[in-house]
Chain A
């Protein structure tokens, strides 16, 4: 089904004899000390899959405990540690590094026609910082983990007796890894673009990575210093957040959310950019509103910095500040709606190819629209007073984080699987697993919206009996979701081992990364390529006037 015609004299010819990056070198050392951005991406993929399933197991344990109002399978303290570790593992060790680490590392150089990222050694350092952070986190988990929730609110986090310091250190070190990745990507995109690749020809994935890196560089240091302050406060009692000594716990919340709100955009912007790639490829037509989607990425990135106060509406923040933050939070909604309308608009008069990545993209569209709408509802201040810290908030951010980001991680993984490994995955199994995963998400988290409305607070180990039937439905679908994810892992690994060989451009997609052989050679291109067309422009295939 290879539709792309290989344009003559393109770098492809020269690159054919070179061995691809997997077989170029062999031996453990060549992987452990690699400077090749593609191999580092695979290292990230391995670690990220482990942390994702670890977080998933914690989530399943929580859901199983919540089947019954009182003591289920664990006691209160274990439950509290479990939801903290679920939060920390998912947020710091999966969401933030996943798409930038795996797909950003692998495809930014390929998409802009560069041989490698700007600072390969820095790239490897940031992977090892991330790995060191994961080990610190595991070491913390072995010591029982902490029970403060992933938000570490003081004065509880500074007075808890559980081992909170290793987890704080893990998040601190993870921050540096994501800063250095951000610096690396921004410099790569600025200085290593090939000839003819001016800004308006950048694929939307690269735009998304650029926006994400800006946030990573400017927001992450604030969480580094805040967690360090909390750690020193816990250890030395300096009184900076301690109310008994004139400190103010609400200052910690301000500093924490100044990072954590842009952090949710670090997680969701890469997902949006993968979605643009998928929709651009499978609608077989140039995306509607390319400029608007690119600019709205920066809209989200910068306005995202102004809206952290909507996490503090009921925390004793002043009414004036609540108003200002409420208003600014509304502005973010319009940038997401631009993206969604342009994606759906792109499907008009398209020639849609039904494949697993596109099924993930459709699921992503539904979950983003629904999650985004509930986000705007939460930003309405008087409604947030009722919903704050209830399951409504849990459902909202899982719709966006677990829904949009995980779906796009899987969609991207399937879309780029031939390019990364040179093998094709089984399409049939892909469809089944995708439906299971999407239905699992919707089934798990829709009941939680109603739980939140009824007033069920979050992080509750035991709850009044009238919430039980919603919890039971949510847990059943959680298991379906886990099955779907497990099935995906199985057939992808099987395809990795003995899947049929993939052609250079199995989807006939127009983007630049499909011009290289799959899997690409070690230095991507034998000679610096010359880009002479737009990323989503179909060259060399005739366009039938009446599309259907």
Chain B
């Protein structure tokens, strides 16, 4: 796999080849491998929060159940569908850039960023209702002031602690994803990528898929507690 580009000084190198890589295939593989390591690290970053969630759900099962009833599951479902669609469009973006169709790639990237914004808007709305209903973690938990129906036990504050930590961290990652994809979109608009060089699109796509992957696990764990 490794071509010997050392003969007669350097052959006219591909435009984006770094001097330390011997050929662009190895550089592309290095970039993807580096990204996968970064995704492995992101999984561990969320693992501590999943561990805290599992720890407290294990101890207060029915408090978690009663607390999660107050979450808007239809919004959760819509957000999941929205993120899955954005995941599709980003995969198509990579697919098109591989065939060199830059125009279609830009369209797909725009749709992905749009879906991301929709997700953030929906999630913001959810937070607003929770702020309004007083379903906030720890010290700020005062549901009885606004909620009718049976009083929530004290421990359901733990549910909202885990809920807010998980979803706020996930939303931050959505924001970072939007930043990354818009940079990739800007470069693509300026024609930086071609069929031979599209590493950034692939890496940006991988990051966005991770954000979607985490939401796939968050949705059943937070919204569909039984």
Contacts and interface: CB of A to CB of B under 8 A. Distances in A.
Interface of A: 109, 114-120, 122, 179, 182-184, 186-187, 190-192, 195, 217-222, 224-226, 229, 232-233, 236-240, 242, 245-248, 251, 254-255, 258, 523, 527-528
A246 B56 contact: yes
B21 interface: yes
B138 A236 contact: yes
Given A237-B138, A527-B6, A218 B41 contact: yes
A225 B169 CA distance: 10
B137 interface: yes
Contacts of A122: 34
A543 to B, nearest CB: 33
A226 B48 contact: yes
Contacts of B162: 240
Interface string B147-182: 000000011011001101100010000000000000
B37 A225 contact: no
Contacts of B44: 218-219, 221-222
B156 to A, nearest CB: 9
Nearest to A115: B20
Given A119-B34, A195-B2, A245 B158 contact: yes
Contacts of B137: 236, 238-240
Closest 9 CB pairs of A and B: A239-B138, A221-B45, A238-B138, A237-B139, A115-B20, A238-B137, A191-B30, A225-B48, A116-B20
Interface in B15-39: 18-22, 26, 29-30, 33-34, 37-38
A183 B157 CA distance: 38
Nearest to A121: B18
A122 B37 CA distance: 14
B141 to A, nearest CB: 8
Contacts of B154: 245-246
A246 B19 contact: no
B51 interface: yes
B38 A183 contact: yes
A247 B158 contact: yes
B165 A528 contact: no
Contacts of A229: 48, 52, 165
A41 to B, nearest CB: 16
B99 interface: no
| Interface residues of chain A: helix, strand, loop or mixed (majority) | helix
B37 A186 contact: yes
A423 B20 CA distance: 28
B72 interface: no
Nearest to A192: B20
Given A182-B37, A186-B33, A255-B48, 11 more contacts: A118-B34, A179-B41, A187-B30, A222-B48, A236-B138, A238-B138, A238-B165, A239-B157, A242-B138, A248-B56, A251-B52
A217 B37 contact: yes
Interface residues of B, number: 41
Nearest to A119: B34
A192 to B, nearest CB: 6
A255 B33 CA distance: 27
A245 B138 contact: yes
Given A218-B41, A237-B138, A183 B34 contact: yes
Contacts of B38: 183
A178 to B, nearest CB: 11
Nearest to A223: B48
Contact of B45 (A115, A192, A225, A247): A225
Contacts of B20: 109, 114-118, 120, 192
Given A190-B30, A236-B138, A246-B56, A218 B165 contact: no
Q: Which of B20, B34, B45, B164 has the most CB of A within 10 A?
A: B20
| Residue among A114, A118, A224 facing the most chain B CB atoms (10 A cut-off) | A118
B69 interface: no
Contacts of A248: 55-56, 59
A187 B158 contact: no
B57 to A, nearest CB: 12
B33 A246 contact: no
B139 A238 contact: yes
Contacts of A191: 21, 26, 29-30, 33
Nearest to B55: A251
Nearest to A195: B2
Contact of A238 (B2, B34, B155, B164): B164
B28 to A, nearest CB: 10
Contacts of B127: none
Contacts of B65: none
22 contacts: A120-B18, A179-B41, A187-B37, A192-B30, A221-B48, A222-B48, A224-B45, A225-B45, A225-B46, A225-B48, A225-B49, A233-B138, A237-B139, A238-B138, A239-B157, A239-B158, A240-B137, A246-B158, A247-B56, A248-B56, A254-B51, A527-B6
Given A179-B41, A225-B45, A248-B55, A118 B158 contact: no
A240 B160 CA distance: 10
Contacts of B138: 233, 236-240, 242, 245
Contacts of B164: 238
B130 interface: no
Contacts of A219: 44
